[in-house]
């Protein structure tokens, strides 16, 4: 049965690694729903957060294949319940609609806020799950959406052993010479 | 203070290779790689260069060289077409886990991404088929990049790596200070063996009445043939091998049970589905080995040991998946063994072997009439060379016959293209094997089709006077495909029928002695002449045109449904 999985991989900063990772998904015809690359608490180590809709068996194989890459320190997978995850969405709407007092109610309900106001438009930011982003989109649609953008997922696992502890155990240098 | 000594990037590359104990390079020059070849001119006393006739040949030769010497192979190619010509060879090495360092030249860094003359994005092209690759744009990166390349290629599950070096980096001056790499934090080539894995393996063995050991290429790659022999002798567990696992155990061993897979032996395929315990050692349950997965080894508990974690539970679900170096595993378990397999189980193998012997092997190796059969040629070669030769095959029927009918004795004495099944692999691989082992008789077994894919390498054989013995089985067909057309497409021989050139004459044109044999009565003489000839020799053997390779597991069949005769 298909489900939503979040795959997290920690890696050295190496040009081309993103490509190597995505090849693993393309070969198995797995569509990447979202992908975020960011730095971590440890200097030089990067974090890939990849969301896919797939079957568990496939996900396990893919994660093994990611971890096999020579620059990947560690790869893990989670179901939604095992992580806290968020995405950000930005909505640009015309200033005229923004004056509509219903907007304020909407913003309050979603805990969204206005991050920029210009002569002819405002920009609203919201953080939440995919559903929240989509619900807010539907509500704002009648106000006239000029532009809409959303980020990929970021996620933090709920597991006990802190990843930072794992990262901290790593040697400082990427490699040791003879 | 004195200025530190500086050398060019090109020289740094060669010096790095020398530091890694490289003494042989297979390659082909061109514009972008000229600075390297210019420096090589002064280093021929340390670095022997074999000039091939096509870059694909360099890659295959380097692969065979690596397989027979245990040292990584090294290949040079220029940018653009030189580099892209390598791709088949890189892929072949990747699927068969062979350490090769590919060095490709690239246009100057200022021209990258501009579609400059002979620019190809070799990093992207080679990404899916290398273990690691890296583009060098500055001379001071060279030493580190090459040190990493060797480390990745040789350790863990070995594989090909590629370094792409821009022309300006080759010309730039740099200080040179080479240090080999000892460890890399993101990469664990030596997984730790757990006591628990040994314990559970022993436990499962204890309760097993019908254990079967499957030995793969991993045994050879891990240099664990001695350990395998010791394990088998102690446990008396029958041992079957994969195609690339051939020669991992001497075929005289009393517990040797034959080859697995589509054209493997009858007994190990049938009894895979009888076994109650399968110990898979350094093999990956390729689909050519398992047949229909849903009906594979259903009565057995499966213990799978591999150094590559991604292979565990990939095709076959293991009851115990052991992520370890097979050599460590065997070293650890052998002293703890207090088990011996039931003799009656081994007898089951012997019974089925007899059937195969009567129905297939005897007819193939000792035919009395009709045209020459490839099996009898290989059987005679096995006897005549006292099983001391290195056999290199191409792909197709000739490959299966070469694997089946030579009686392998020494580790790494079969060089063949397993995972990719690359026609054209044979001749260049035979060259590489001969370069690596000048002391050995190297015999190439090839088909009329595959030989013509890389026949230009006869030029290389001639240039370096490599005394390879080339046996072409000419059936005027792309035999293996024809066999499938006969069996599954109602004899509709679509584009598998091929007129062939005068092969001995082609050899002659390259300055190589050649002969042809058609009659059984003259076969021994022709083979003796070839083997006794001091230098390369090509022997074309006109064989039975529509001979088939059997036994065979038809596509979709389970391993125990293997068919002895059509
Ligand atoms: C490069 C390449 N192209 C196509 C194939 C498909 N193929 C597999 S075996 C075979 C026939 C080989 O014919 P030949 O070399 O004459 O050898 P034979 O089977 O007759 O011994 C073909 C075409 C292949 N394995 N490799």
pLDDT band at A165 (very low <50, low <70, confident <90, very high): confident
CATH class of B371-542: alpha beta
At A156, which helix (H) or strand (E)?
strand A154-157
Q: Where in chain B is the domain with CATH 3.40.50.970?
A: 6-175, 371-542
Contact call for B309 and A64, based on CB within 8 A: yes
Residues of chain A found within 8 Å of residue B308, distances taken between Cβ atoms: 68
Name which residue sits closest to atom 4 of ligand 1, judged by CA: B423
Interface of chain B toward chain A, CB-CB under 8 angstroms: 123-124, 127-128, 131-133, 135, 147-148, 152, 179-187, 308-310, 312-314
Residue B430: per-residue pLDDT: 98
Q: Which atom of ligand 1 is nearest the CA belonging to B401?
A: 21
Residue B135: per-residue pLDDT: 98
pLDDT at A161 over 90: no
Q: Minimal Cα distance from B152: which residue of A?
A: A70
Residue B1: per-residue pLDDT: 65
Contact call for A67 and B310, based on CB within 8 A: yes
Q: Determine the distance separating the centroid of ligand 1 and the alpha carbon of B556, expressed in angstroms.
A: 21
Contact call for B180 and A71, based on CB within 8 A: no
B238 within 8 A of B213, measured Cβ to Cβ: yes
Q: Where in chain B is the domain with CATH 3.40.50.1220?
A: 195-349
Fold assignment, B6-175? Rossmann fold (3.40.50)
B97: left (phi over 0), alpha (psi -120 to 50) or beta: left
A43 in contact with chain B, both atoms CB, cutoff 8 A: no
Question: How far, in whole angstroms, is CA B148 from its chain's centroid?
Answer: 24
Q: Determine the distance separating the centroid of ligand 1 and the alpha carbon of B423, expressed in angstroms.
A: 5
Q: Is B375's C-beta closer than 6 angstroms to any atom of ligand 1?
A: no
CA distance A146 to B98: 56
Q: Which structure tokens are listed for A156?
A: 């933090």
Average pLDDT value for residue range A71-75: 94
Question: How far, in whole angstroms, is CA B506 from its chain's centroid?
Answer: 27
Q: Which atom of ligand 1 is nearest the CA belonging to B453?
A: 1
CATH assignment, B195-349 = 3.40.50.1220
A16 in contact with chain B, both atoms CB, cutoff 8 A: yes
Contact call for B186 and A23, based on CB within 8 A: no
- Among partner residues B184, B310, B313, which is closest to A175 by beta-carbon distance? B184
Q: Which structure tokens are listed for B66?
A: 């690596």
The structural domains of chain A, ordered by start, are 2-83+154-174 (3.30.70.260), 86-150 (3.30.70.1150)
CA distance A74 to A36: 16
Query: What is the separation, in whole angstroms, between the first and last Cα of chain B?
Result: 82
Contact call for A70 and B184, based on CB within 8 A: yes
- Overall pTM > 0.90: yes
pLDDT at A162 over 70: no
* Residue to mutate (ligand 1; options B401, B478, B552; most atoms within 8 A of CB): B478
Residue B566: per-residue pLDDT: 86
Longest Cα separation, chain A:
70
pLDDT tens, chain B, 566 aa long: 677 899 999 999 999 999 999 999 999 999 999 999 999 999 999 999 999 999 999 999 999 999 999 999 999 999 999 999 999 999 999 999 999 999 999 999 999 999 999 999 999 999 999 999 999 999 999 999 999 999 999 999 999 999 999 999 999 999 999 999 999 999 999 999 999 999 999 999 999 999 999 999 999 999 999 999 999 999 999 999 999 999 999 999 999 999 999 999 999 999 999 999 999 999 999 999 999 999 999 999 999 999 999 999 999 999 999 999 999 999 999 999 999 999 999 999 999 999 999 999 999 999 999 999 999 999 999 999 999 999 999 999 999 999 999 999 999 999 999 999 999 999 999 999 999 999 999 999 999 999 999 999 999 999 999 999 999 999 999 999 999 999 999 999 999 999 999 999 999 999 999 999 999 999 999 999 999 999 999 999 999 999 999 999 999 999 999 999 98
Residue B504: per-residue pLDDT: 98
Distances (CA, A) of A178 to A49, B141, B147, B181, B184: 34, 17, 10, 6, 12
């Amino acid at each position: 049965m298909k489900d939503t999985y979040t795959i997290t991989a920690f890696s050295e900063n190496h040009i081309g690694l993103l490509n190597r990772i995505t090849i693993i998904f393309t070969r198995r015809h797995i569509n990447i729903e979202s992908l975020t690359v960011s730095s971590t608490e440890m200097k030089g180590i990067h974090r890939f957060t990849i969301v896919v809709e797939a079957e568990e068996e496939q996900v396990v194989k893919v994660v093994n294949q990611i971890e096999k890459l020579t620059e990947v320190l560690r790869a893990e997978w989670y179901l939604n319940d095992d992580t806290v995850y968020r995405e950000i969405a930005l909505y640009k709407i015309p200033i005229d609609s923004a004056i509509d007092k219903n907007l304020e109610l909407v913003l309050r309900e979603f805990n969204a806020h206005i991050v920029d106001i210009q002569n002819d438009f405002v920009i609203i930011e919201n953080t939440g799950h995919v559903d929240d982003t989509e619900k807010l989109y539907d509500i704002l649609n009648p106000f006239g959406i000029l532009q809409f953008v959303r980020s990929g997922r970021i996620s933090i696992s709920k597991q006990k052993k802190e990843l930072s502890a794992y990262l901290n155990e790593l040697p400082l240098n990427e490699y040791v010479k003879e | 203070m004195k200025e530190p000594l500086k050398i060019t990037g090109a020289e740094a590359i060669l010096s790095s290779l020398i530091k890694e104990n490289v003494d042989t390079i297979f390659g082909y020059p061109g514009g972008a790689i000229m600075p390297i070849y210019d420096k090589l001119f002064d280093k021929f006393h340390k670095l022997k260069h074999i000039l091939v006739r096509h870059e694909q040949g360099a890659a295959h030769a380097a692969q065979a060289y690596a397989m027979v010497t245990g040292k990584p192979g090294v290949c040079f190619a220029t940018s653009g077409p030189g580099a892209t010509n390598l791709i088949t060879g890189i892929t072949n090495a990747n699927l068969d886990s062979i350490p090769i360092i590919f060095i490709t030249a690239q246009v100057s860094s200022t021209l990258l991404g501009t579609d400059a003359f002979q620019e190809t994005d070799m990093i992207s092209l080679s990404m899916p088929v290398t273990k690691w690759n890296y583009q060098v744009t500055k001379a001071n990166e060279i030493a580190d990049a090459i040190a990493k390349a060797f480390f990745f290629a040789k350790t863990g599950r070995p594989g090909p790596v590629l370094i792409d070096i821009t022309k300006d980096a080759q010309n730039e001056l740099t200080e040179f200070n080479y240090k080999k790499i000892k460890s890399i934090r993101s990469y664990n080539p030596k997984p730790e063996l757990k006591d628990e894995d040994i314990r559970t393996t022993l436990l499962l063995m204890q309760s097993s009445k019908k254990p079967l050991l499957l030995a793969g290429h991993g045994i050879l790659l891990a240099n664990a043939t001695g350990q395998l022999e010791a394990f088998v002798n102690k446990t008396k567990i029958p041992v079957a091998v994969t195609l690339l696992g051939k020669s991992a155990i001497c075929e005289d061993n009393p517990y040797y049970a034959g080859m697995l897979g589509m054209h493997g032996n009858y007994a190990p395929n049938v009894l895979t589905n009888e076994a109650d315990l399968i110990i898979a050692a350094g093999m990956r349950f390729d689909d050519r080995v398992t047949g229909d997965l849903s009906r594979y080894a259903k009565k057995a508990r499966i213990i799978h040991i591999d150094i590559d974690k991604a292979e565990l539970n990939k095709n076959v679900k293991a009851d115990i998946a052991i992520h370890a170096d097979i050599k460590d595993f065997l070293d650890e378990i052998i002293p703890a063994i207090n088990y011996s397999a039931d003799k009656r189980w081994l007898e089951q193998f012997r019974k089925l072997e007899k059937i195969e012997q009567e129905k297939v092997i005897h007819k193939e190796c000792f035919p009395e009439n009709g045209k020459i059969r490839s099996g009898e040629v290989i059987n005679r070669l096995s006897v005549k060379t006292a099983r001391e030769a290195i056999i290199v095959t191409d792909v197709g029927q000739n490959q299966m016959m070469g694997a089946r009918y030579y009686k392998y004795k020494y580790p790494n004495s079969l060089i063949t293209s397993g995972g990719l099944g690359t026609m054209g692999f044979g001749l260049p691989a035979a060259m590489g094997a001969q370069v690596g082992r000048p002391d050995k008789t190297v015999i190439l077994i090839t088909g009329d089709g595959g030989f013509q894919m890389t026949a230009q390498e006869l030029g290389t054989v001639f240039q370096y006077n490599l005394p390879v013995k080339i046996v072409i089985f000419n059936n005027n067909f792309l035999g293996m495909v024809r066999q499938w057309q006969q069996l599954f497409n109602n004899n509709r021989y679509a584009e598998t029928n091929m007129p062939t050139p005068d092969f001995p004459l082609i050899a002659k044109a390259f300055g190589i002695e050649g002969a042809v044999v058609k009659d059984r009565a003259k076969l021994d003489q022709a083979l003796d002449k070839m083997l006794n000839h001091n230098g390369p020799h090509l022997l074309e053997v006109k064989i039975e045109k529509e001979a088939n390779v059997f036994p065979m597991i038809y596509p979709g069949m389970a391993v125990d449904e293997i068919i002895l005769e059509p």
